[in-house]
Amino acid sequence: MQASLDIEALNQQIQVDSAFVEDIKAATGNIIVGQEYMIQRLLLGLLAKGHVLLEGLPGLAKTLSIKTLASAVNADFQRIQFTPDLLPADIVGTMIYNPSKNDFTVRKGPIFANFILADEINRAPAKVQSALLESMQEKQVTIGKDTFKLEEPFLVLATQNPIEQEGTYPLPEAQVDRFMLKVKIGYPTKVDEREIIRRSISGQTEQKVSSVIEPSQILKARELVSKIYMDEKIENYILDIVFATRTPETSGLADLKPLINYGGSPRASINLAKAAKAQAFLNRRGFVIPDDVRNICTDILRHRIGLTYEAEAENITQEDIIDKIINTVEVP
């Protein structure tokens, strides 16, 4: 009885404190046309303390969406354009020699901001990409002998071009796994693209977005997200899905075993749980339901499943495998 009262009280609190979500969607909608799914996933990462990797062809408003969201949250924003000649020090900073004092001082790089846009992250080689690893995982940066904590909220929003394109480098698996979500962006519809043309011609896309909330509200919302109730049945459902990517034969999916090289790590289970709670918050609920898990499952797992040569030869994708798992694993 007490638990149901607590959930009801949390529901009422979330109804009030999640109102800013609609404000953000309205503010970004004035600039961005037809990318509601992408904006929703960016908000999901922001609330669940997870980094987001956006993949899509150039010109699909990935950079504009991230920049617009940062403006709406009134957060410190830095854009890093990744290129083949970029150095790790260009991201995290370096030690500068000061002749007058005869010693070295730290010059901080652009990583010291709330929102980091790592634009076209896969156009730089692995050594540069790995410069982000400590900041993404530990929320800190080490320069020389000094370690600096990064200010919260801290979020890396990276864009990448499909790896089949010229001049791209595949991201190291260790770094890809640190992104909570990998979201694939497609072309807009004809109706949306017509509106995009009209706004571009009129200069509407160049308008500045006014901030609708402060970073402190995001931190408060994150605390609420962590309190959202998740039943043990939902936890077991998440585990069943993740374990099906590792040992599909134990889940009645023996036909997938030759197609999967490796499955989701424990980080996949953790991120599924966190993102499911954030999804419940976006739906203004104080508890997680199976649909929350199913809704975010593909974006959480697509970059955590390795395909065998057999799967690639048969043109089977991670999305195909995830769909089959979701449709087979019993829903609580």
Q: Mind listing the pLDDT tens digit for each residue in 153-178?
A: 888 888 887 765 566 777 777 778 88
Mean of the pLDDT values across residues 111-126?
Answer: 84
- Whole-angstrom distance, CA of residue 303 vs CA of residue 102: 48
- pLDDT score of 143: 80
Which residues have a Cβ under 8 Å from the Cβ of 203 and sit 6 or more positions away?
none
User: How much is the pLDDT for 2?
Assistant: 42
Q: What is the pLDDT of residue 269?
A: 93
Mean pLDDT over 305-319 rounds to: 88
The span from the CA of 234 to the CA of 309, in Å, is: 33
Task: Give the rounded percent of residues in the chain with a pLDDT score beyond 70.
Answer: 95
Answer with the residue of higher pLDDT: 10 or 326: 326
Task: Decide if 135 contacts 150 (C-beta within 8 A).
Answer: yes
Distance of CA 169 to the CA centre of its chain: 20
Given a cut of 60, is residue 5 above it in pLDDT? Answer: no
- What's the average model confidence in pLDDT over 73-96? 84
Q: What is the CA radius of gyration of the chain?
A: 21
Give the other-Cβ count within 10 Å of 200's Cβ: 12
Instruction: Report the CATH fold assignment for 2-220.
Output: Rossmann fold (3.40.50)
214 pLDDT higher than 50? yes
* Residues 276 and 293: beta-carbon distance below 8 Å: yes
Residue-wise pLDDT tens digits, 20-35: 888 888 888 777 777 7
CB atoms within 10 A of CB 89: 14
Higher per-residue confidence, 28 vs 49: 49
Q: Scan for tokens 């799914």, then name that residue.
A: 37
Q: Tell how strand 115-119 and strand 140-143 pair up.
A: unpaired
Q: Going by C-beta distance under 8 Å and a sequence separation of 6 or more, which residues neighbour residue 112?
A: 78, 93, 141, 148, 150, 151
The mean pLDDT of the chain is 83
Judged on CB neighbours under 10 Å (0-12, 13-18, 19+), 327 is exposed
pLDDT score for 166: 61
**Cα–Cα distance for residue pair 215/221, rounded to 1 Å:** 10
**pLDDT of amino acid 1:** 42
Residue 163 to residue 11: CA distance in whole angstroms: 43
Rounded mean pLDDT, 299-325: 90
Instruction: Write down the pLDDT at residue 242.
Output: 93
Segment 129-135 shows an average pLDDT of 77
Would the pLDDT of 257 be above 70?
A: yes
Q: Is the dihedral of CA 92, 97, 100, 103 positive or negative?
A: positive
Nearest CA among 187, 55, 188, 174 for reference residue 123: 55
Fold category of 229-328 in CATH: Helicase, Ruva Protein; domain 3 (1.10.8)
Domain residue extents for the chain:
2-220, 229-328
Give this prediction's pTM. 0.85
CB burial of residue 58 (10 Å; 0-12, 13-18, 19+): exposed
